[in-house]
């Protein structure tokens, strides 16, 4: 019967962190870049989740309004308003996400928003 060891040389090396060790200024720069990237990614994720929640709520409200319509003209007016509002919301969201990304690339300078 063949048995395998519970740990391998590669696993031990990875656990020790020696494979990824970078010393001096380079290591600090990499750590700072990773921290900045993770912070920006987390902020983008929070913002996108908030946006999706808001859009789903607005879409549901629009659907309820449309179901209560008695004429095609009313449905068309609601759909037109919904389309304009949706485009504005998506444009605004993209601007926010681009601001987050730009701020992270420029080292966090600039207003948060």
Q: Are 69 and 75 in contact (CB under 8 A)?
A: yes
Asked whether residue 68 is domain-assigned, the answer is yes
Asked whether residue 15 is domain-assigned, the answer is no
Asked whether residue 112 is domain-assigned, the answer is no
Separation between Cα atoms, residue 73 and residue 79, nearest integer Å: 10
pLDDT at 78: 98
pLDDT at 24: 74
Asked whether residue 6 is domain-assigned, the answer is no
Asked whether residue 64 is domain-assigned, the answer is yes
Condensed to tens digits (0 to 9), the pLDDT of residues 30-61 reads: 888 888 899 999 999 999 999 999 999 999 99
The whole-angstrom distance between residue 21's C-alpha and the CA centroid of its chain comes to 29
Condensed to tens digits (0 to 9), the pLDDT of residues 8-26 reads: 554 555 455 554 555 677 8
- pTM of this structure: 0.67
Asked whether residue 57 is domain-assigned, the answer is yes
Structural domain harbouring 55: 26-103
Asked whether residue 58 is domain-assigned, the answer is yes
Phi, psi of 32 (to 5 degrees): -65, -40
Asked whether residue 90 is domain-assigned, the answer is yes
Condensed to tens digits (0 to 9), the pLDDT of residues 60-109 reads: 999 999 999 999 999 999 999 999 999 999 999 999 999 999 998 887 54
Tally of structural domains, the chain? 1
């Amino acid at each position: 019967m063949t048995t395998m060891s519970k740990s391998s040389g590669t696993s031990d090396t990875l656990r020790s962190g020696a494979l990824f060790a970078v010393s001096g200024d380079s290591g600090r720069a990499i750590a700072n870049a990773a921290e900045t990237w993770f912070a920006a990614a987390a902020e983008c994720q929070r913002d996108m989740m908030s946006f999706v929640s808001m859009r789903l709520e607005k879409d549901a409200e629009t659907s309820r309004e449309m179901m209560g319509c008695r004429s095609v003209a009313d449905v068309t007016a609601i759909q037109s308003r919904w389309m304009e509002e949706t485009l504005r919301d998506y444009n605004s969201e993209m601007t926010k996400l681009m601001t987050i990304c730009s701020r992270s690339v420029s080292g966090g300078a600039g207003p948060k928003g």
